[in-house]
Amino acid sequence: MKFTPQSITEGELLLIDKPLEWTSFQVVNKIRWALKRKFNIKKLKVGHAGTLDPLATGLLIICTGKMTKKISEFQDLDKTYIGTITLGATTPSFDLETPINKRFPLKHLNKEKIIEAKKNFIGTINQYPPIFSAIKKKGKRLYEFARIGKKIDIQSRKVVIYNLEFSKINLPDLNFKLKCSKGTYIRSLANDFGKSIDSGGYLSSLRRTAIGSFKIKNSIQLQEFIEKLKL
């Protein structure tokens, strides 16, 4: 990590492994603060190219300075994830951010039914974003409506699932690997998959491993990045 004030303002691309329970916005703020302090820069643009939920970990592309102009290009890239769908229950947020609100039987499920149902989630699909999401509607984030219990119409969107593999089926958990287009909500996929097999489903873990050709193996942990800046 050999940065200079000029290189930071001209534009650097950082691959950061986002820690659990951090928002993407918090990661951006932490990096901006650390860079400004290290190089004594008064104003610095820093942004990320694709949000990860607080309960997800993995690859964040962070851009500084003039590189922030390319953020939209990086956002358009395909994403790759690994994670776990837990069947037999649902949550309002479709993940563990909110507690379980309904439970469903699992006795009717087996590996063959699960593999067969998976076929309906490959290719172009219609998907409804979770109500607990940052998408704006009427000038507010959807999660703002959700937290006050207000119902609001959400438009579906077309997304592409290029590949979905279950690496392990150990009910109620399905460990998966997924490659998808931009704008795909993995939480919605978990919820929809549960419905398709007459069961509930929610996302119990998620890790982004790639954005286009950018890989998690080439990233750096946030805290390690901050510590190296101090050297």
Q: Are 69 and 13 in contact (CB under 8 A)?
A: no
Is 53 in the active site?
Answer: yes
CA-to-CA distance for 231 and 226, rounded, in angstroms?
Answer: 9
Residues pairing with 89 in the sheet? 103
Burial class from Cβ neighbours inside 10 Å (0-12, 13-18, 19+) for residue 166 reads: middle
Burial class from Cβ neighbours inside 10 Å (0-12, 13-18, 19+) for residue 175 reads: middle
CA dihedral (157, 52, 38, 216) in degrees, to 10, reads -110
Kind of pairing, strands 89-90 and 102-103? antiparallel
Task: Quote the radius of gyration of the chain (alpha carbons, Å).
Answer: 19
Burial class from Cβ neighbours inside 10 Å (0-12, 13-18, 19+) for residue 17 reads: buried
Active-site residue identified among 17, 53, 95, 192? 53
Q: Are 93 and 132 in contact (CB under 8 A)?
A: yes
Residues pairing with 17 in the sheet? 59, 221
Task: Give the catalytic positions in this structure.
Answer: 53
